[in-house]
Structure 1
Amino acid sequence: MERPNIPPDSTERTILTAANYVFTAVFALEMFVKVVAKGLWYGKHAYFKNGWNIMDGSLVFVSMVDFMLSFIAFGSPRIFAILRVFRLLRSLRPLRVINRAPGLKLVVQTLLSSLRPIGNIVLICCTFFIIFGILGVQLFKGKLFYCDGPDVESVKNKTDCLADPRNQWINRKYNFDNLGQALMSLFVVASKDGWVEIMYTGLDAVDVDQQVS
């Protein structure tokens, strides 16, 4: 809700500042009560032995630092750059809702537990991408260049193209001249609508320094 162009003395800014102080106090009080009831480090149910409590504690710490920097900033304008960073971290506060909603918490835990098998699948996909990227470099390296100019109907190769100073011998945006470009082209082929153009360009490729047919 907070907009950077709100005047400092406006009603909206005053309400947002007051709400920030209230939420900071409530979150800090909640953390204090939990630490007193469960303990900080020691004990079976200690506060910092639960990952969700660690997240809540981190957000409370960020809010407290932001609270202190807000007062320091009035006397030191240089502190505003650091203050902006901590105000950006306040956007993580909605994550506290996850700990309060059992259904949402279960979904997040399921997603986190699936990261490991997803990582294995991504590794296999990357392996195949590299294999086909190397194959693409072997087959199409330097073969996707074309002549761009006002009259290119009779152009057959790079020499014919550059014979006219108005022409340019340029490469396709997606090509296979190196492994990096090949992987980018394969990613476009696998995920975007531009794969048809890349396919027809590969079909029309002739040879190195030859105009595509």
Structure 2
Amino acid sequence: MNYSSLQSLFYQLKNNRAFELFVIFIIIISALEIGAKTYDLPVQAIAFTKMLDLFITLFFLVEIVIRFVAEPNKRHFFKSGWNVFDTLVVVISLIPIDDSEMALLARLVRVFRVLRMISVIPELRILINSLIKALPQLGYVMLLMFIIFYIYAAVGSFLFQT
């Protein structure tokens, strides 16, 4: 099998709705696993969560490789902020967390794996991009609310002064 046929196969897999749903399922499992680790677990459950975490990390690594190989122009892959975010989260989650100095960072990044849901679901990407574009106008909303609250405060202090 040559590279172009592998690239074509990965492109079809990347755009397959069942594959996307499976990635979303793994992200949800990752979130549940992270939540489960916040409790005191029995030894067997701790061993299971460590194996599950390893599987999830390897799955995300394979998924990023599939998406990268499927991209016809490799430079365009890293022009997308979502791809850069996903790649950073996956690469940093490869850091071993066994009581090293980087353990806290690695655990924190594993929590951010849940945010990969945004990059996988196009509707969430559109929503986040729209919210980011609306941030400057939010300042005007806050200014308007300040003016309204100021007027009500002034009227209230006048009406209820003793």
TM-score using structure 2 length: 0.60
Counterpart Cα distance in 1 of 2:54 and 2:129: 31
CA 32–19 in structure 1, closer or farther in 2 if over 3 Å, else same: same
RMSD value over aligned CA atoms? 3.3
Are the aligned partners of 1:98 and 1:105 in contact in 2 as well (CA < 8 Å)?
yes
Residue number in structure 1 paired with 2:123: 103
**Which structure 2 residue ranges, 5 or more long, are not aligned?**
1-35
Counterpart Cα distance in 2 of 1:26 and 1:111: 30
Counterpart Cα distance in 1 of 2:70 and 2:92: 23
Residue number in structure 1 paired with 2:37: 2
**Which structure 1 residue ranges, 5 or more long, are not aligned?**
74-78, 133-185, 190-197, 205-213
Over 4 Å off, 4+ runs: 123-126
Q: Specify which structure has the bigger relative contact order, considering alpha-carbon pairs within 8 angstroms and separated by 6 or more residues.
A: 2
Q: CA deviation at 1:125?
A: 5.1
Q: Which has the higher helix share?
A: 2
Are the aligned partners of 2:97 and 2:107 in contact in 1 as well (CA < 8 Å)?
no
Q: CA deviation at 1:108?
A: 2.0
Q: Which of 71, 91, 97 is the equivalent residue of 1:38?
A: 71
Are the aligned partners of 1:62 and 1:89 in contact in 2 as well (CA < 8 Å)?
yes
5 Å-filtered alignment, 1:13-162, equals: 13-38=46-71, 42=75, 46-65=76-95, 68-70=96-98, 73=99, 79=100, 82-123=102-143, 128=147
TM-score using structure 1 length: 0.47
CA 199–41 in structure 1, closer or farther in 2 if over 3 Å, else same: farther
Structure 2 residue matching 1:110: 3-state secondary structure: helix
| 1:203 maps to amino acid | Q
Counterpart Cα distance in 1 of 2:73 and 2:41: 40
Q: CA deviation at 1:4?
A: 5.3
Structure 2 residue matching 1:203: 3-state secondary structure: coil
